[in-house]
């Protein structure tokens, strides 16, 4: 019986795990060494299962070994089984009830790596890079991504409480938001701006994106547009083939789009435009930001390196890893990084945030300057650097806090029914006063960074003193800083008015109407893109590098 047990265990270990070892160990071992290491792992696993003081679940033992290896590779390589594999199929095929985020494991913390536009998470101002500390008061530290998804997802309409850590603010945030059916619309809105430029917002490269983008280009061309703006901000990527085909819509037949490079000949592949694109000549700008990633960076890099259009905004995220899903059984697969993306000028898109601990030797440092097809210099180092840098439309910390807490969205939802919201709608001073009163009624008090720093200093360095005069001095300083914080919030009255207007329009009239009434007038990247396209001389000179 003991022999039979060992045989079963050996077969189980040398199935998916053998393929995994073969994929990730070959970098430092010859074939003979590799097989020896696999046999060693089998022997250790069987020994632990047979002789450890407590009973061991063989499947859990092997899964733990696999996960330990993938954690040493990069943040995106993962072994998917059971619920984790189910969630992958669920996300790629369609709809689920959740809050609209994607998570990865980073140093024992659940890291938010994508926020879908128009979802509860987006409306609550959750951001890529936020860390999840608690879900419904359950500690999320050390939880795996599938365990995190179990906590986050639930019945449509039910509420979920989150405690997040925002590194930029160095503070935690408490949120409560509803679960909704999540359906990813690749093109949330499109239209024509005040300068007669077409505009298409691409939120994600999912199945069918090519057909939609192509259809909208035809419709815009029929309207006689003078130029085209493609908005890739906050686009986390998606399917490679969709991004390649969409890039080809703006290029000429044979133009290089992207190259994948891995270790084997099979991973070396060059993608080119298969035919002349439907919009391969007209003026073109792309808007990118720090949340533009992966497949979206492929499109941006192809347009820039082929001198086909101008990039406007801020440097993209820098996620240039190719993942393959290697199926092992009906309910398990390995999501493995097998190559990296390189733009036509041979820039590597990947920004090296996390060293691969299993790499046998370090890669040589990338050179800094590369050249486009016409000889225009562009810069490497990971991510795509725009041709024209424009400061993003960032909110002040107090506004950011209030949006994240959900106070503005709650106020807008509660007050919309008694207002007439149409193209002529405007936010009155009285409405702003009502917002401030509403926020105060929620027991919210804003403390600016100076107050927070002083409060931290007191908590870490000063104990309650018996010296009354000293305590009085500290109390006086605190009161001054509290008043300064209040004055700072009140001084942003006009900004609150703009934010309220945007929320009312977007909530009641939709994203397309928000583009017409808000973004064209307030969005600095969009305004800049329109101005560049309106001036042919500026556009042409920037495109040739003069």
**Positions marked active-site:** 294, 305, 319
Best CA proximity match to 316, nearest among 206, 209, 203, 234: 234
Alpha-carbon distance of 546 to 534, in angstroms, equals 18
Contacts of 328 (CB under 8 A, 6+ apart): 15, 16, 19, 334
What whole-number distance in Å separates Cα of residue 401 and Cα of residue 403?
Answer: 6
Residues 6+ apart with CB under 8 A from 58: 8, 9, 12, 45, 49
> Residue with structure tokens 């609550």?
124
Helix, coil or strand: residue 315: coil
The neighbour count for residue 102, using CB atoms within 10 Å, is 18
Per-residue tokens: 147: 């365990």
Sign, CA dihedral 499-503-504-510, equals positive
Written as one string, the DSSP assignment of 480-527 is: HHHHHHHHHHHTTHHHHHHHHHHHHHHHHH-HHHHIIIIIHHH-HHHH
Cα atoms in the Cβ-side hemisphere of radius 13 Å centred on 456? 9
CA angle 205, 208, 214 (to 5 degrees): 90
CA distance 90 to 544: 45
Structure tokens at 129: 């890079």
DSSP string, 210-262: HHHHHHHHHHHHHTT-SEEEEE-TT---B-HHHHHHHHHTTS-TT-EEEEEEE
Q: What is the 3-state secondary structure (H, E, C) of 290-303?
A: CCCCCHHHHHHHHH
Alpha carbons 297 and 318: distance in angstroms, whole number? 8
- CB-based contact 302:344 (threshold 8 Å): yes
Q: What is the 3-state secondary structure (H, E, C) of 98-118?
A: ECCEEEEEECCEEEEEEECCC
Q: What is the largest CA-CA distance in the chain?
A: 83
């Amino acid at each position: 019986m003991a022999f039979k047990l060992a045989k079963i265990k050996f077969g189980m270990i040398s199935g998916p795990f053998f393929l995994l070892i073969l994929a990730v160990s070959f970098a430092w071992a010859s074939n003979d060494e590799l097989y020896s290491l696999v046999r060693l792992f089998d022997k250790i696993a069987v020994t632990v299962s047979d002789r450890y003081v407590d009973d061991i679940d063989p499947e859990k033992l092997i899964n733990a070994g696999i996960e330990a290896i993938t954690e040493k590779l990069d943040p995106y390589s993962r072994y998917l089984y059971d619920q984790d594999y189910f969630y992958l199929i669920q996300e790629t095929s369609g709809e689920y009830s959740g809050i609209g985020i994607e998570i990865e494991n980073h140093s024992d913390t659940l890291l938010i790596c994508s926020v879908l536009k128009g979802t509860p998470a987006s409306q609550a101002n959750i951001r890529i890079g936020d860390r999840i500390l608690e879900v419904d008061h359950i500690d999320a530290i050390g939880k795996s991504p599938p365990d995190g998804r179990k906590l986050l997802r639930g019945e449509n309409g039910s509420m979920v409480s989150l405690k997040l850590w925002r590194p930029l603010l160095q503070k935690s945030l408490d949120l409560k938001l509803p679960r909704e059916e999540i359906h990813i619309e690749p093109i949330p809105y499109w239209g024509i701006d005040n300068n007669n430029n077409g505009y298409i917002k691409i939120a994600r490269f999912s199945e069918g994106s090519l057909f939609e983008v192509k259809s909208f280009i035809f419709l815009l061309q029929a309207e006689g547009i003078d130029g085209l703006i493609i908005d890739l901000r906050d686009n986390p990527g998606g399917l490679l083939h969709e991004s390649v085909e969409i890039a080809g819509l703006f290029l000429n037949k044979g133009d290089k789009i992207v190259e994948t490079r891995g270790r084997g000949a099979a991973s070396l592949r060059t993608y080119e435009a298969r035919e002349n694109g439907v919009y391969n000549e007209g003026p073109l700008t792309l808007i990118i930001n720090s949340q533009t990633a992966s497949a979206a960076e492929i499109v941006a890099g192809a347009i820039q390196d082929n001198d086909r259009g101008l990039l406007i905004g801020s440097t993209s995220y820098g996620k240039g890893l190719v993942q393959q899903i290697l199926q092992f059984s009906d309910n398990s697969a390995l999501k493995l990084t097998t190559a990296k993306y390189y733009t036509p000028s041979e820039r590597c898109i990947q920004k090296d945030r996390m060293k691969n601990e299993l790499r046998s030797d370090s890669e040589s440092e990338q050179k800094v300057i590369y050249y486009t097809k016409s000889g225009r210099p562009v810069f490497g180092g990971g991510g795509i650097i725009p041709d024209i840098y424009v400061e993003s439309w960032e909110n002040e910390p107090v506004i950011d806090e209030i949006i994240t807490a959900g106070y503005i969205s709650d106020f807008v939802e509660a007050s919309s029914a008694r207002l007439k919201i149409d193209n002529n709608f405007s936010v009155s001073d009285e409405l702003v006063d009502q917002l401030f009163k509403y926020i105060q009624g929620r027991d919210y008090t804003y403390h600016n960074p100076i107050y927070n720093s002083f409060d931290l200093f007191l908590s870490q360095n000063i104990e309650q003193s018996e010296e009354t005069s000293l305590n009085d001095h500290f109390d006086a300083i605190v009161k001054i800083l509290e008043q300064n914080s209040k004055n700072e919030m009140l001084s942003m009255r006009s900004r609150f008015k703009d934010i309220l207007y945007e929320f009312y329009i977007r909530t009641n009239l939709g994203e397309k109407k928000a583009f017409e009434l808000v973004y064209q007038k307030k969005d600095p990247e969009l305004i800049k893109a329109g101005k560049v396209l309106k001036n042919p001389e500026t556009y042409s000179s920037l495109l040739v590098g003069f």
